[in-house]
Amino acid sequence: MIQHGFVRVAAAVPQLRVGDCRANLRHMSDVLAEAHHQNAAVAVFPELGLTGYTCGDLFHQTALQRGALHAVDTLLQQSERTFRGLTAVGLPLLVDDQLYNCAAVLQRGRLLGVIPKSYLPNYKEFYDARWFAPGFRCRNQNLNLLGQSVPFGVDLLFDAGATMPGLVVGVEICEDLWTPLPPSSFQALAGATVLLNLSASNEVIGKAAYRRQLVIGQSGRCVAGYVYVSAGVHESTTDLVFGGHALIAENGTLLAETPRFDRADVLLAQDLDIDRLVNDRIKTNSFGDVQPMVAQRTWRRISFQVERPAATKLMRDVDAHPFVPRGKEQLRERCEEIFHTQVAGLAKRIEHIGAGPLTLGVSGGLDSTLALLVACKTLDLLKSPRTRLEAITMPGFGTSQRTLKNAQALMKHLGVSGREIDIRQICLDEMLALGHKPFGVDLKGLTLEELTRNLQKLPAESSQDLVFENVQARMRTSLLMNKAFVIGTADVSELALGWCTYNGDHMSMYNPNISIPKTLVKFLVRWAAENEFEGAARRTLLDIVATQISPELLPASDNGQMPQPTEGVIGPYEVLDFFLFHFLRYGAPPEKVLFLAEHTEFDRSYTAAELRQWLAQFLRRFFANQFKRSCLPDGPKVGTISLSPRGDWRMPSDAAARVWLEWAEEKPIKKQQRTVKK
């Protein structure tokens, strides 16, 4: 599969009869037919899979060598009409009076190349050096084999760049991976993005776990996809048992593996993201820095083509919530780690500034709650009284009774110095000084109560007044900054979208939430409620988690309806965080981000049109609001996403979004009325 930079690879473990090349060929053909049915572009079989790995001294028999070569010839003929992808199979091959343990790579009737095994284990139960010569001994670089001129050696790479840019395949064999300097490391530095390993690794206690670590680790070090397949149970003979362990990993993550000891033909297929691998290599400068160390090595690239199959469902799990681990225990560990990281960062800053007062604005919402919890635990760590922190709640024209009561309760339960400042009159005075008429209402002579009644009568669709909103947001920050050292609250999702007021909730002296996405903020507060607090404090925290997200800058209507549900204006945070992750972490183009979103559980909750609309809006907002991110306060990086101008993200404030929005012009998206906070 090659749509949006994905390629489908397959690890095959067919049934096997040791020494019976015809039977082994038949099972290989059956598995290749299934690989074709699954639209795989690359298939790899176990080491010496045409003969069996455990043939012993039979490898020196001409009949067995000839039988294996005849099986390759048959596979070449079949590949013209059955499986048309790249296939790697194992066989013993006699070259220049030396026998080599080889991987033959073929496609569509063409023998693309033959790679000999570089390192031969000859310890414990392994006797490879008794039968085979190491790959570095080979003298000829080309063979006349089955009527074709075939490249031969350990310097071969298979390049599909003409039909799929970025797809370059390297091949190594079993023990090669176990060495200090695996051939795949050099192949990756030479450009290979997919690494194949034909193996015959027997089973002993603990070996499967170590094998898994090797594959995952090598895929991470090489920033590559790694497809590993080992001999199956039918290889077992004499003193050895094999399990047919197949694994597919991508850049340090295990995507799929087979259960061991299956007695039937097995095919493990998975989609590798080549574009993502290339993007990570571009970003990781140290990957390129190693290349001069291997510059003396030369490589031969053999071209092959990847056919574009009919559209098929993505054979890959796409997590709708990439910032939030799925497992309960993993989520608990992640939240605990992030929380302690926040505390450690804030503790260092508080130690550095000395014994001065601290302040934090508490709204009764998620972000300020998390920042308040972190601040309290930080003061506990530093053995400083929580009363050192003056938590101030500042109700304005849109503050609801629910959030105000939760803010008051939280400050009380946590034992901080709590204070309430009603900012409405101060804001009214400022708007009068500016000559501003909020929503067209003349403020002269109006009391707060009269202004509130007038605002409540406004129809919801007309409730947009940036000056009215920004005066409140900036007034709160002004009060906090004039009081003491300000601990900030804004999260990375708000900063990505510009859903914050410049020099308002956007600014502080240190912000422990600055790299945490909104979806994770909610889980962190819930985790804190369930693990760090109990009683009334826990009940308050859980109610905050259940409260609708809103900036609460506009007053509720007469019937109590909130006019500013954030997710109703900018889209669901779970979707926006998904966009942010793939756009920022992997540099995925918009059409791929949308494609991935449509392959998650979102397809049960949102229509394709809604996802498309929110993605276009996300991009417009992201590009329009870089100026806010160019002057962010300090704060700890806790995950792979950060928008700090000193860390992960450096972007011109006036960059145009046109290139990223061109995909939407094919089907123009109707712009909706929405509040844009400045």
- How far apart are alpha carbons 468 and 436 in whole angstroms? 8
Query: Which CATH homologous superfamily contains domain 328-666?
Result: HUPs (3.40.50.620)
Q: Per-residue pLDDT tens for 350-401?
A: 999 998 999 999 999 999 999 999 999 999 999 999 999 999 999 999 999 9
Three-class DSSP category at 115:
strand
Q: Is 70 exceeded by the pLDDT of residue 461? A: no
Q: Annotated catalytic residue: which of 117, 592, 628, 677?
A: 117
Q: In percent, how much of the chain has pLDDT > 90?
A: 84
- DSSP result, 299-366: -EEEE-----PSP----S---S-TTS-SSHHHHHHHHHHHHHHHHHHHHHHHHHH-S--EEEE--SSH
Q: Per-residue pLDDT tens for 242-282?
A: 999 999 999 999 999 999 999 999 999 999 999 999 999 99
User: Topology of 9-303 in CATH?
Assistant: Nitrilase/N-carbamoyl-D-aminoacid amidohydrolase (3.60.110)
Token pair 């095994």: residue: 117
pLDDT at 309: 66
The residue count of the chain comes to 678
- How far apart are alpha carbons 172 and 581 in whole angstroms? 34
- How far apart are alpha carbons 564 and 669 in whole angstroms? 23
Tokens matching residue 570: 């900018």
pLDDT grade, residue 304 (50/70/90)? Answer: very high
Q: Is 60 exceeded by the pLDDT of residue 102? A: yes
The answer to whether 174 is a known catalytic residue is yes
pLDDT grade, residue 555 (50/70/90)? Answer: confident
Nearest to 397 by CA among 616, 563, 218, 229: 563
The answer to whether 449 is a known catalytic residue is no
Longest Cα pair distance anywhere in the chain, in angstroms?
A: 107
pLDDT, mean of residues 481-506: 96
Token pair 């406004």: residue: 458
The answer to whether 117 is a known catalytic residue is yes
pLDDT at 556: 72
pLDDT at 1: 46
- How far apart are alpha carbons 619 and 608 in whole angstroms? 17
- Alpha helices, DSSP H, located in 464-517: 466-483, 492-497
pLDDT grade, residue 110 (50/70/90)? Answer: very high
pLDDT, mean of residues 185-198: 97
Q: Is 70 exceeded by the pLDDT of residue 567? A: yes
Q: Annotated catalytic residue: which of 34, 47, 172, 257?
A: 47
- How far apart are alpha carbons 666 and 36 in whole angstroms? 33
**What's the half-sphere exposure (Cβ side, CA atoms, 13 Å) at 348?**
11
pLDDT at 678: 43
pLDDT at 559: 58
Pairing of the two strands 110-116 and 98-107 = antiparallel
Three-class DSSP category at 152:
strand
pLDDT, mean of residues 427-434: 96
Rounded to 5 degrees, what are φ and ψ at 306? -110, 125
pLDDT at 312: 72
- Cβ atoms of 125 and 92 closer than 8 Å: no
Q: Is 80 exceeded by the pLDDT of residue 562? A: no
- How far apart are alpha carbons 91 and 102 in whole angstroms? 5
Q: Is the dihedral of CA 522, 524, 530, 536 positive or negative?
A: negative
Q: Is 90 exceeded by the pLDDT of residue 677? A: no
Q: Is 50 exceeded by the pLDDT of residue 676? A: no
Reading phi first (left if > 0) and then psi (alpha if -120 to 50, else beta), residue 252 is in: left
Q: Is 60 exceeded by the pLDDT of residue 546? A: yes
pTM of the model: 0.92
Three-class DSSP category at 415:
coil
pLDDT, mean of residues 168-181: 97
Q: Is 80 exceeded by the pLDDT of residue 659? A: yes
Looking at beta carbons, which pairs linking 256-261 to residues 24 or more positions away fall under 8 Å? 257/212, 258/11, 258/13, 260/203, 260/208, 261/203, 261/233
Q: How far is CA 474 from CA 8, 47, 442, 535, in A?
A: 52, 68, 22, 35
Q: Annotated catalytic residue: which of 174, 222, 335, 376?
A: 174
Q: In percent, how much of the chain has pLDDT > 70?
A: 95
- Cβ atoms of 594 and 617 closer than 8 Å: no
- Cβ atoms of 636 and 515 closer than 8 Å: yes
Q: Per-residue pLDDT tens for 645-658?
A: 998 899 999 999 99
Q: Is 50 exceeded by the pLDDT of residue 35? A: yes
Task: Give burial (CB, 10 Å; 0-12/13-18/19+) of 269.
Answer: buried
pLDDT grade, residue 184 (50/70/90)? Answer: very high
Close Cβ partners of 410 (under 8 Å, ≥ 6 residues apart)? 362, 364, 369, 372, 537, 540, 541, 544
Nearest to 461 by CA among 541, 561, 374, 385: 561
Scored b (16 or more CB within 10 A) or e, 385-405 reads ebebbbbbbbbbbbbbebbbe
Name the strand (E) or helix (H) holding 597: helix 590-597
Rounded to 5 degrees, what are φ and ψ at 102? -125, 160
Three-class DSSP category at 96:
coil
Q: Per-residue pLDDT tens for 48-96?
A: 999 999 999 999 999 999 999 999 999 999 998 889 999 999 999 999 9
Q: Per-residue pLDDT tens for 574-630?
A: 999 999 999 999 999 999 999 999 999 998 999 999 999 999 999 999 999 999 999
Tokens matching residue 37: 């049915």
pLDDT at 674: 40
Domains of the chain, by residue range, sit at 9-303, 328-666
pLDDT grade, residue 297 (50/70/90)? Answer: confident
Pairing of the two strands 156-159 and 300-303 = parallel
Looking at beta carbons, which pairs linking 602-609 to residues 24 or more positions away fall under 8 Å? 602/320, 602/575, 602/578, 606/572, 606/575
pLDDT at 65: 98
pLDDT at 353: 95
